[in-house]
Amino acid sequence: MRGYLALLRGAFMIGLIYRFGFLFIIIGNVIYMGVAYYLWHSIYDKTETINGLTFNETFIYVTLGSTVFILLKTYADWIISHEIEDGSIAVYLTKPIDYQFYALSISLGSMLTNAVAISVPTVLLLVFVFKVTFVFGPGLLIFPISILLAFLISYCFDYFTGLIMFYTESIWGVSVTKEIMITVFSGALIPLQFFPEAVQRVLLLLPFQAIYHTPLMLITRPNQDWGTLLSMVGVQAFWVVVMFVATRLFYNQAIKVLRVAGG
Amino acid sequence: MSLIHIENLNKHFKILNRHPGLGGAIRDLFSNDFRFVKAVDGISFDIAPGEIVGYIGPNGAGKSTTIKMMTGILKPTSGVIQVNGQSPYDNRVRQAQIMGVVFGQRTQLWWDLPVIESFKILKEIYRVDQKTFDEHMALFDELVDLGKLYGQQVRTLSLGQRMLCDITASFLHNPQIVFLDEPTIGLDVSIKAKIRTVIKELNQARKTTIILTTHDLGDVEALCQRIIIIDKGKILYDGGIKKVNALFGAYRTLKLQIDGFDESTLRALEEKLGAHFGPENGVSLSEVEDHWTDITIDQARTPLADVLSFVMGNFPVSDVRIVEISMEKVVRKVYDGALG
């Protein structure tokens, strides 16, 4: 455990070293918020609610969605595929650590730098510049847990994608496909309520929605009874367990390619 | 009791035969035209605690493949491999605790962070206690002046500095065995010497078993009591350094550039050398490329200085280089039965 914390700390420090990177992410995010504001403003011009969401709710959903999107980018697929490609994975295979948790520690460490440097300015901008009003409720309390669970699910998707590198020796196409699927199916691009009823029903059964839809609903609609809130987080926890076990089994298969065929 | 026990170890790779050109690449997508490469072909040896063993051979001989099997990265196709009585493949995480590994072409240090941070991370990964950590860091500081580099980002280190850090880092958790895979690759002479001293001192201070693969015969001469020569996956020689040392230590190649060189110069050189030093003299004209004439000399029979002064006295020599015998030539000589 101490070892993984040290890895996490290391990754966190790397984020701090490249502090100028933040500046551009923040600037980019501000531009995106401005565009989203005027776009959704004109859509809501003639009506109070669309699909049951008010402008305030949709705007928070979309802008926080982009922040959460940055937070939940684990980059594990790129980290792993890069290590497989240049063979540096061998270095970690000679260390007394588990590869899945090694990659997770690295991803989590860089996510924490983003959490500090990006979400704080975004929330401040939302409150003081765009003057949105947050609704307070119990949903906000479990939001941090939900975001962590969402991160773990997102990590599993990326870890899985990275491991495909063992078979394909190239990850570009696979990673782009994964990215598009997650962006659309998870409700990161547009709220799931905007999809047709039937599609929504299918999407809610898949793990994608547990990444963005769940934490974002908690923050836009925090005033729900504890039963509903806990079942939302429960579904996330369920997917974390399923996907952790699944990717672990996949790793045990994938690593054989390296161990048998050489790297 | 041996620390590493290897018996009839094999590693075969299945490789797709690729065809040239775009058409070939498309054909390869559906091809089943595999060939098997015996990277390691039935090797056996035992290594005792505290030894420094040089594991040498030309490129593609199977050195790295063997190291990767000993460290548990690769799974053997067949045969027995035991490190400290355990299979490194089945107990990877546990076995990793007693090993240190340096791959010369890669680094275990964190590229973006100051040097000291990598040591701190390794300390936690290997669960080294603070007291041992402080002791080791003091030792490394004494050996390589590590303290000066603590605050420097790894990416800004020179190749030599980085390698010194990598090697000391692999000793941090006091492993029983350290594998050094080409630790001196691409380094200049003075830093090579430094690295050899460090390896030797760490071996003596900690009684660590060291397995060293290298291309540089200088490393072997300076460090190893025992060497194992491997080529094409098979062991050609396993034994004391003395016998081999006599072989490659004695040979030098004299490279000469002679003004107005042509066919007749070469013949004249051959005749004169033969006439002056006699037939059984250990001097031979080996190969000629780009106006350079190579004379290989067995110093046990004829001193290099004599040959050099004779040639300088009789031919208009414009440039001279003296090179040590290459790994490839040693292997060829071993094949030819030089070690009996």
Name the residue in chain A with its Cα closest to that of B106.
A88
The answer to whether residue A114 is domain-embedded is yes
The answer to whether the CB of A191 falls within 8 A of the CB of A58 is yes
Q: What pLDDT score was predicted for residue B104?
A: 82
Answer yes or no: is pLDDT of A152 > 90: yes
Name every chain A residue with its beta carbon within 8 A of the beta carbon of B13.
261-262
Q: What pLDDT score was predicted for residue A81?
A: 86
Q: Using CA atoms, how far apart are residues B272 and B270, in angstroms rounded to an integer?
A: 6
Q: Per the structure, how many domains does chain A have?
A: 1
- This complex has an ipTM of 0.82
pLDDT bin (cut points 50, 70, 90) of residue A114 is confident
The answer to whether residue A164 is domain-embedded is yes
pLDDT bin (cut points 50, 70, 90) of residue B340 is low
Mutate to test the interface with B, among A1, A14, A95 (most CBs of B within 10 A): A95
pLDDT bin (cut points 50, 70, 90) of residue B156 is very high
The answer to whether residue A145 is domain-embedded is yes
Q: What pLDDT score was predicted for residue B15?
A: 79
Q: Does A260 touch chain B (CB under 8 A)?
A: yes
The answer to whether residue A167 is domain-embedded is yes
Computed over every residue of chain B, the mean pLDDT equals 86
The answer to whether residue A263 is domain-embedded is no
Out of B136-145, B198-207, B268-277, least confident range: B268-277
The answer to whether residue A200 is domain-embedded is yes
Domain around A171: 2-258
For chain B, list the domains and their CATH numbers: 4-232 (3.40.50.300), 250-335 (3.30.70.100)
- Mean pLDDT along residues B292-321: 83
Q: Helices (H), strands (E): how many in chain A?
A: 12, 2
Q: Could you give the strand order of the β-sheet that contains B251-258, starting from the edge strand earlier in sequence?
A: B283-289, B292-298, B251-258, B317-324
CA dihedral A49, A197, A193, A209 (to 10 degrees): 170
Answer yes or no: is pLDDT of B255 > 60: yes
SS3 A127: helix
Name every chain A residue with its beta carbon within 8 A of the beta carbon of B97.
96
Name every chain A residue with its beta carbon within 8 A of the beta carbon of B14.
261
Q: What are B297's two structure tokens? A: 């000399």
Q: Does A202 touch chain B (CB under 8 A)?
A: no
Q: Distance of alpha carbon B210 from its chain centroid, rounded?
A: 13
- Mean pLDDT along residues A209-232: 87
Radius of gyration, CA atoms only, chain B: 24
Answer yes or no: is pLDDT of B57 > 90: no
The answer to whether residue A43 is domain-embedded is yes
Q: Using CA atoms, how far apart are residues B137 and B94, in angstroms rounded to an integer?
A: 24
Q: What is the pLDDT of residues B62-113, one digit of tens each?
A: 888 999 999 988 889 999 999 999 998 888 888 999 999 998 888 899 999 9
Answer yes or no: is pLDDT of A257 > 70: yes
Answer yes or no: is pLDDT of A263 > 60: no
- Mean pLDDT along residues A155-174: 87
pTM: 0.82
